[in-house]
Amino acid sequence: MIEDFSHLTGCLVRVPAGAEVHTTGKAGTRTSTRAQVVRIDHVIGGYDTPGYTPRKAQARWAGSGGYWREVNADLVELIEER
């Protein structure tokens, strides 16, 4: 069963240094070199469906240049509730 991370929507969280941050821009995937504090816009649910590659839930926020950034929701640390 995949854990529900929908409670993170609208919350302020810390993304730790060394986390793989994905972007919808040209950069693709990068490893963050420092911790970041961001406000989560929405969470893309994970799935564990037979016949498909399992995917962890992704916490997503607005990045620079109008692109979305996302990271594995298991990695974020809640700082402030919405």
Listed by start position, the domains of the chain span: 6-80
Query: How far apart (Å, rounded) are the C-alpha atoms in residues 71 and 60?
Result: 7
Q: Which pLDDT band, with edges at 50, 70 and 90, does 2 fall under? A: low
Q: Is pLDDT at 1 greater than 60 in this prediction?
A: no
C-beta of residue 12 within 8 angstroms of C-beta of residue 37: yes
Q: What local confidence, expressed as pLDDT, does residue 42 receive?
A: 95
Q: What local confidence, expressed as pLDDT, does residue 68 receive?
A: 95
Tens digits of residue pLDDT in 15-30: 999 999 999 988 889 9
Q: What local confidence, expressed as pLDDT, does residue 27 receive?
A: 84
C-beta of residue 13 within 8 angstroms of C-beta of residue 76: yes
Tens digits of residue pLDDT in 30-66: 999 999 999 999 999 888 888 888 889 999 999 988 8
